[in-house]
Amino acid sequence: MKIAALQMVATPRVDDNLDTARTLIAQAAGQGAELVALPEYFCLMGHKDRDKLAMAEADGDGPIQGMLSAAAREHGVWLVGGTLPLRLDGVAHDSTAADCRALNTTLVYGPDGERAARYDKVHLFCFDDGERRYDEAATLRAGSEPRAFEAHARDGERYRTGLSVCYDLRFPELYRALMRPDPCDLIVVPAAFTYPTGQAHWELLLRARAVENQCYVLAPAQGGRHENGRRTWGHSMLVDPWGEVLAVQAEGPGVVMGEMTRQRLTQVRSQLPALAHRVL
């Protein structure tokens, strides 16, 4: 099954970002991808953290969700829609209120355009090195449950696919939870890693998650200098179950593509049956 990570350098303009996403999805599908994944906040990289609250959508309704569904259906692909801000269910949404929060949510659409899965980011990023400070909890509410879905390849093979987002990558217990009751064959990690944290830990953590869970890891990222001055690390990549990096792009918009096979999964898991040896 060919799978693709789409790298972007999102702007503060939602319409421009959706146009870029459509172009990249079409490019990946044209190269044979059956599963395509967008980066975290593919739809907006605002001037301020609170900008995302003004364009947060209600679950099941809005132009961002509409674009994802239509693109998946048009190209006949499984589409992991990076993340977008979703309003909290049952809570009045006033983006100007100081206590307003949203969810940072990954939505997955099948080749028929129907929604196949939803995951609300569990771990909220906080970083302060004296020069840069980020605190997602100021605008977001954390999710609470791991989520996985089954992607059906055109050849009839099925791949259990786990969902995670960016900062989740630092918490191996989330990925262990995704390996039960059955192991995931693929883990997707949409991200917008900061430049300093990405330079230090991005590839290291992606390869570790692939090795310890003996699965493929597909990591679509924001990668470049954004109009708001922020620089994201990029290096979108595909890692195989042995920890080998199969494809990577350092910076700039693009498609990172490779192939996921049942044969490779079986080979790694049989020659070193670590998953079968789990005790805890």
Mean pLDDT of 41-59: 96
Q: Is the dihedral of CA 10, 193, 187, 179 positive or negative?
A: negative
- Mean pLDDT along residues 80-88: 98
Q: How many domains does the chain have?
A: 1
> What's the DSSP call for residue 206?
H
Asked whether residue 5 carries a pLDDT value surpassing 80, the answer given is yes
Q: Is the pLDDT of residue 131 over 80?
A: no
In which band, very low, low, confident or very high, does the pLDDT at 88 lie, cut at 50, 70 and 90?
very high
Residues paired with residue 37 on neighbouring β-strands, in sequence order: 5, 80
Q: Are 191 and 170 contacting, i.e. CB atoms less than 8 angstroms apart?
A: no
Confidence band for 130, pLDDT divided at 50, 70 and 90: confident
Domain with 70 in it: what CATH number?
A: 3.60.110.10
Query: What's the whole-number mean pLDDT along residues 65-93?
Result: 97
**Cα distance between residue 82 and residue 151, in whole Å:** 16
At residue 280, does pLDDT exceed 90?
A: no
- Tell me what the pLDDT averaged over the chain comes to: 96
Cα 222 to the center of its chain, rounded Å: 10
**Any residues with CB less than 8 A from the CB of 175 and at least 6 apart, and which?**
162, 164, 184, 187, 209, 212, 213
**CB of 207 closer than 8 Å to CB of 243:** yes
How many helices (H) and strands (E) are present in the chain, helices listed first? 6, 17
Per-residue pLDDT tens over the stretch 184-218: 999 999 999 999 999 999 999 999 999 999 999 99
Residues catalogued as catalytic: 40, 121, 166
Residue 132 has pLDDT above 80, yes or no: no
Q: How many CB atoms lie within 10 A of CB 263?
A: 7
Contacts of 214 (CB under 8 A, 6+ apart): 183, 241, 265, 268, 269, 272, 274, 275
Q: Is the pLDDT of residue 170 over 80?
A: yes
Range of the domain at 137: 2-277
Report the sign of the C-alpha dihedral through residues 66, 149, 177, 258, in that order.
negative
Q: What angle do CA 62, 178, 216 make, to 5 degrees?
A: 90
pLDDT (0 to 100) of residue 217: 99
Asked if pLDDT for residue 101 goes beyond 80, the answer is yes
| Paired tokens of 27 | 């490019």
